[in-house]
Amino acid sequence: MAGLETNRIGQNVIAYDEVVSTQPLAHEAAAKGAVEGTIVLAELQTGGKGRLGRPWHSAKGTGIWMSLIIRPAIPLPKTPQMTLLTAVAVATTIREETGLPVKIKWPNDIFIGDKKVCGILTELNAESDRVNYLVIGIGLNANSVESDFPSELAQIATSLRIESGEPLKRVSFIQRLCRIFEEEYDHYLQAGFERVKQEWEDHSYTIGKWVSLQTISQQFEGRAVGLDEEGVLKVEDQAGQIHKVYSADVNYRAN
Ligand code: BTN
């Protein structure tokens, strides 16, 4: 990609017109030894995958549908930090490219106002306790107009074009995202999670809100108060007790 200012992120690009999903193609490339920073891109996904087995609507030419391969030498329990880092990198790129006031909704959705503009799906390949690679799927609604969304998404999804009134230059966006991701990632590998944690909290949609949580083991309500040093969400219940939430479905209340 001419104009790319990175050492490895985005230096190898595998681009398709139409795929079922970029995720399995990135796994295939990674298993065959694709270098760290390889990105798999598609104009159209016919079977885009979201979190929790949900479909991801990926109409032709309207978005950035990409999967990034990274090979961080970190312990397995730290891999969720890579999703938080990616959310920070995407949010920073959107702010720099468009000036739009984006927020990060735990764990990894990017919101403008109360509508989702981008989702992140991280998939891990590991052997015993060693990370082989991560495939980080990024689905960004870039140039969709309202009529591109199916009716069930119209009230909850938006695009950068809808919000800014301007079409997004996707190549320049991807180049900036690669540069910002690489800078965050290199800093993380050298200095640890603290900066990502701070940036995530500074741009969080979730911190300070009352949330109702359904985890595997319990259901409770409380105020989201921050991330711990590992990146786990801390929620304070009515009795002042702090709960650490690794994975849950979150509902938000108005107060
Ligand atoms: C979510 O919010 O549920 C995550 C959505 C992730 C979508 C991206 S689009 C590129 C990559 N390929 C997929 O099939 N999914 C991810």
ipTM value for the complex: 0.99
Do 161 and 221 share a domain, yes or no?
A: no
- How high does pLDDT run on average in the chain? 94
User: What kind and span of H or E run contains 23?
Assistant: helix 22-31
Ligand 1 mean position, distance from CA 215 (Å) = 22
> Which of these ranges, 23-32, 118-127, 223-232, has the smallest mean pLDDT?
223-232
Q: State the Cα–Cα distance between residues 253 and 210, nearest whole angstrom.
A: 6
Task: Give the model's pLDDT for residue 255.
Answer: 46
Q: Which two tokens stand for residue 190?
A: 């050298």
Say which CATH number the domain at 23 has. Answer: 3.30.930.10
Pocket of ligand 1 from Cβ distances under 6 Å: 21-23, 45, 48-51, 54, 56, 58, 65-67, 109, 119-121, 137-139
How do residues 125-153 score in pLDDT, each as one tens digit? 999 889 999 999 999 999 999 999 999 99
Task: Give the model's pLDDT for residue 139.
Answer: 98
By residue range, what is the domain housing residue 239? 210-252
Do 216 and 197 share a domain, yes or no?
A: no
116: annotated binding-site residue?
yes
Q: Determine, yes or no, domain membership for 4.
A: no
Would you call 104 helix, strand, or coil by DSSP? strand
Q: State the Cα–Cα distance between residues 95 and 97, nearest whole angstrom.
A: 6
